[in-house]
Amino acid sequence: MIIEDEPMVAMFIEEALELAGASSFDIAATEADAVAFAAKHRPEVITSDVRLVEGTGPRAVKQIHDQLGDIPVIFITGTPFECDEQNMSPVLMKPVTLNAVMEAFEKVAPEGDGCSN
Domains and CATH numbers, the chain: 2-107 (3.40.50.2300)
Q: What is the pTM of this model?
A: 0.91
The reported pLDDT for the residue numbered 81 is: 84
| Long-range pairs for 94-99: beta carbons < 8 A, 24 or more residues apart | 94/9, 98/12, 98/15, 98/16, 98/19
Q: Where is pLDDT greater, at 114 or 71? A: 71
Position 110 scores a pLDDT of: 84
Kindly tell me the sign of the dihedral angle through the C-alpha atoms of 108, 101, 51, 83. positive
Question: Is the pLDDT reported for residue 114 higher than 80?
Answer: no
- Residue 5 confidence (pLDDT): 97
Output the pLDDT for position 113: 45
Q: What type of residue sits at position 70?
A: D
